[in-house]
Copies of this chain bind each other. A is one copy, B any other.
Amino acid sequence: MAPDLWTLYPLMLRSRLFEQAIADLWRDGLISGEMHLGTGEEAIIAGVVSQLQDGDAMALDHRGTAALLMRGVDPGLILRELLGRATGLCGGVGGHMHLFSRDHLAASSGIVGASGPAATGFALAAQALRPGTIAIAFFGEGAMNQGMLMESLNLASVWALPVVFVCKDDGWAITTQSASATGGSLSDRAHGFGVPAVEVDGRDVSKVWSAVHSAIERARSGGGPTFLHAQCVHLEGHFMGFQLLRSVRDPLGQVPAIALPLTQSFLRPGGAPLRERVAGLMHVAGVMRATQHDPRQDLANDPVPRVRQALLVDPERLLALEDRIAGELVEIVASALGEVSP
C-alpha cells in the first residue's frame, strides 16, 4: 500500500498552523509555563497517526499536541485547555504537558520516558479487551536513556504486545547533544531487547508512512512490538523562548548576559588549570555553534514544505485545501479567544 499525500498533507499543515497559533498566544502571555511544540516532527506524527483505527491508543510525551490534533481531538478543546479554560479538553486543569482524551485513548506525560510504560499498558489492555488494536509510544531520543522506557521495550518484547515505539530523534535533549549522552546505537539497543528496529527519515512522510505501515500490521496481527527510529528537526528548538536559540538568533540581545559572567568565571582565580577551563569553554561554544549551524533553517529539514512540493502537481486543489484549513483554524482560534473566560 502507498501513502496518500492528499490525506497526509492536510494533517501536517493543520498541525503546523495550529501550533503556530499556539506559539503566538504563548508569546502574548496567554499560555503559561513551558511550551514544547511539535513543529518539525509532523511527518512522523502524521505517518503514524493517519494509520490508527478505532480503539488504538497513544501514549504521548511533552510534545503531544500534534498527535492529538491529527487523531481527531477538537482543536477548540485543545486550545481552551492551553488557555486554562474550564471548557478545555481537561477542564483547563491539565495544561500542555498533560493533555488527555479518554475517547481517543490518548494520554500525555511530562515525565521523560513515561510513554514507554503507558503504551505497554495500553497494549496489554488492547490484547485483552480489543484484539487487533494497538498502542503507540511517542518519545524523543533522549528518553531512550530513561530506565522505564528501556524496561518497557523488554516487557513489550517478552509479552509480544502490539506496540509501536516511535522515537522522534532530533539529536537534542534540551541543551544536550544526545550523541554525547548515549552509548551504542538506538537500533542496537532495541535489538538487545529482541525488538526489531526500523530506521527512517522522519522528515519524509511517505517513508515514515511505509515503515510504520508494516510495523502496525505486525502489531495488529500479534507479531509484537517494533522500534521506529525517525530523524527530525525541532524548528523551535526545545521549547518556546529556548535560551540557546535566542542566544544564536539574537546574539546582541542575549549574549552579553551570558558572556560576561562566563568570562569572569573563566578568569577567576581558584579552580582548574587552564587546559580544563578551556575545555569547559569549548564545550559551551560547541553547543552554541551546533545550535547555530543546526539544520533548522534548511528548508529540506522541514517536513511540511517537503510534502507540499509533491502536491504542486495540482496547484489549484492544493491552494483550495490550504485556504480551507487556514480558514478553519482562524475561526477556531477566534472563537476560543472571543469567549468570555470563566
Contacts and interface: CB of A to CB of B under 8 A. Distances in A.
A82 interface: no
Interface residues of A, number: 25
Nearest to A186: B192
A29 interface: no
Contacts of A184: 154, 157, 191-195
A290 to B, nearest CB: 17
A183 B148 CA distance: 15
A191 B194 contact: no
Contacts of A189: 189, 192-193
A328 interface: no
A158 B146 contact: no
Contacts of A194: 183-184
Nearest to A157: B183
B158 A151 contact: no
A33 interface: no
A263 B194 CA distance: 36
Nearest to A150: B150
Interface in A159-176: none
Contacts of A182: 154, 158
A185 B193 CA distance: 7
Contacts of A153: 183
A129 to B, nearest CB: 15
Given A183-B194, A184-B193, A192-B185, A151 B146 contact: yes
A175 to B, nearest CB: 16
A323 interface: no
A166 B150 CA distance: 20
A146 B147 CA distance: 7
A238 to B, nearest CB: 20
Interface string A140-156: 00000111101101100
A309 interface: no
A183 B159 CA distance: 9
A1 interface: no
Contact of A147 (B148, B183, B185, B191): B148
Q: Which of A151, A154, A183, A194 has most chain B Cβ within 10 Å?
A: A183
A180 interface: yes
A294 interface: no
A150 B325 CA distance: 46
Given A153-B183, A183-B193, A188-B188, 15 more contacts: A145-B154, A146-B151, A147-B147, A147-B150, A150-B151, A154-B183, A154-B184, A157-B183, A184-B192, A184-B193, A185-B192, A189-B189, A189-B192, A190-B192, A191-B192
15 contacts: A145-B151, A146-B151, A147-B147, A150-B151, A154-B183, A157-B183, A157-B184, A183-B194, A183-B195, A184-B191, A184-B194, A188-B192, A189-B192, A189-B193, A192-B192
Shortest Cβ-Cβ A-B pairs, 10 listed: A147-B147, A183-B194, A157-B183, A189-B192, A184-B194, A192-B192, A188-B192, A183-B193, A184-B192, A150-B150
